[in-house]
Structure 1
């Protein structure tokens, strides 16, 4: 069974100042621009492309939805609830599969992602948080700048890096996860070209391969990026706060389905270890359902489900 350590340093342990790692080298920073901006350009062109060419088939839709769901839950179930917060303990094949699927979302190598997210929780909406929307203040202009920073701007700052040895030492000691992390380039190539290969084989045409690459690779990756980034930006600015937390994290129901349940963000910040973020009746949380299925299959154990007593204790007055 895999052993995942709890969420890293607490605010008291971490101290009042952010702990940064090395400045990103120019090559790595160039890749950030490439893998964020190229898919985004495709997303911006998606509607006019479909309108003017009519090149959007049911095969493209099926591949886009399929790869979206796989890579979305690689991030939410794997990178976030498992590797960052230790919400459950999987067997080794599940651990590796989730690490690979999360990497295929093209949001950065596993250990880097986890270290950044643990630092976010250690300093949430305070100095040292890598992507708080409140960094510039509370005026309209400040919040506009803060939204951009929290949503994606922080990734373009070469000095906004996290000390992985301090915030993710447990992952650096796991040889399986270190290998997945080092092969991030392989998973990136796979996430862009597998849909094209499948689209070509299903339709037996180069056109099918090209349209699948556009829709199920480029557009899908960018759509997933924005769904994920919205928890950093929108869910720290807008929504309901029914639970006690030490920051401005909020529940924003319109994003629940697209984010796999991550937009129940106030619930998550109230207790980071919960395997289910949508703790109230009717709150959609597909990531929690997948963890439940893994537990029922015997592939996950020690799942940290919210209890009525803990929910009542954290409910805001």
Structure 2
């Protein structure tokens, strides 16, 4: 492997990287990862042509949007801004609800997700980052390979991030350990739930099937690729108005579907900040939900950006990229 600096990048097996890992996934778990990446996509390739044009209903659309919004915000507000970066404090019911909602995005169990993401920030776009698109160099061929690695390839890596190093606080939380162990249940619910609602509302097996396709499979596939695009696209291109140690950029076309996560430059410049989109016109739905939680008294000590902090980060960046 060749790093962006043109040097040979150490493999995960070398001594300086062993402390970052906790061995490899059991074979059954690794097969499950391949299945959750490929089966929804393959099912869609078969099912969408059969259902398109004569079976997509407003109920399917409403269910898809609702389940997408809840599960996406479970990741962005819960897994990311709260559990990984502690951008605010949450009541116990909110903490558990965010953990469950994030788990239903089917991006992996919460302990695994948080450990991976904290490791990403510790080594962002450097050796040790689990999903940098710059891992293989800067030539067009190397960046194409790096894009694949950052977008999807890293998920298929059997190595597991060391949770005792990167997520000891979550490991010490009994509620979160239980949510983590029940990941299989949240996966069943997130796929079967839309089908159950669609079947009950239409009182038909066909209504259940189309809801499963559009609000179950399609929603999960779309959510996966939007999240993976923040790893890949937002570390390759985008404007960089704030000083950070890596190549994180803002990619506005992804802002709505990512719930504000694609305002990625400020996030890497100031990771614990609860708002990522801080400039006029930068819609950040996740930050607005945190604001609502704060008004309800469910979230406290929210780390909102301050003008002085933003000015310092902007001045340190120099002319915008």
Structure 2 length as normaliser, TM-score? 0.91
Q: Which moved more, 1:29-38 or 1:247-256?
A: 29-38
**Partner residue, 1:40:** 41
Work out the CA distance in 1 between the residues paired with 2:283 and 2:229: 17
SS across alignment from 2:161: coil
1:273 offset after TM fit, Å?
0.3
**Mapped contact 1:87–1:303 kept (Cα < 8 A):** yes
1:45 offset after TM fit, Å?
4.9
For 1:288-312, what per-residue CA distance to the aligned partner results, in whole angstroms no more than 9, with x for missing partners?
0000000001110000000000000
Work out the CA distance in 1 between the residues paired with 2:16 and 2:243: 21
For 1:28-56, what per-residue CA distance to the aligned partner results, in whole angstroms no more than 9, with x for missing partners?
001101111111224445653444x5211
Work out the CA distance in 1 between the residues paired with 2:260 and 2:269: 15
Work out the CA distance in 2 between the residues paired with 1:221 and 1:85: 24
**Partner residue, 1:9:** none
- Alignment partner of 1:200 is 2:227: no
In structure 1, runs of 5+ residues without a counterpart are: 1-14
SS across alignment from 1:22: strand
What CA RMSD, in Å, does the superposition of the two structures yield over aligned residues? 1.3
- Alignment partner of 1:23 is 2:24: yes
Q: 1:43 to 1:283 in 2, by over 3 A?
A: farther
**Mapped contact 2:51–2:210 kept (Cα < 8 A):** no
Work out the CA distance in 1 between the residues paired with 2:192 and 2:91: 29
**Mapped contact 2:195–2:212 kept (Cα < 8 A):** yes
For 1:145-203, what per-residue CA distance to the aligned partner results, in whole angstroms no more than 9, with x for missing partners?
100100011011112x2000000000000011111011111101100100000000111
Q: 1:32 to 1:267 in 2, by over 3 A?
A: same
**Mapped contact 2:44–2:213 kept (Cα < 8 A):** no
**Partner residue, 2:304:** 305
1:265 offset after TM fit, Å?
0.4
- Alignment partner of 1:235 is 2:237: no
For 1:41-76, what per-residue CA distance to the aligned partner results, in whole angstroms no more than 9, with x for missing partners?
24445653444x521111110000000000000000
Q: How does 1:12-161 map to 2 (within 5 A)?
A: 17=17, 19-45=20-46, 48-51=49-52, 54-159=54-159, 161=160
**Partner residue, 2:217:** 218
**Partner residue, 1:296:** 295
**Partner residue, 1:188:** 187
In structure 2, runs of 5+ residues without a counterpart are: 1-14
**Mapped contact 1:243–1:267 kept (Cα < 8 A):** yes
**Partner residue, 2:7:** none
Q: How does 1:247-258 map to 2 (within 5 A)?
A: 247-258=246-257
**Partner residue, 1:280:** 279
For 1:207-255, what per-residue CA distance to the aligned partner results, in whole angstroms no more than 9, with x for missing partners?
0001101111111000000011100000000110000000000000000
Work out the CA distance in 1 between the residues paired with 2:126 and 2:51: 43
Work out the CA distance in 1 between the residues paired with 2:48 and 2:192: 22
For 1:264-296, what per-residue CA distance to the aligned partner results, in whole angstroms no more than 9, with x for missing partners?
000100000000000111101000000000000
SS across alignment from 2:275: coil
Work out the CA distance in 2 between the residues paired with 1:147 and 1:194: 33
Work out the CA distance in 2 between the residues paired with 1:46 and 1:233: 28
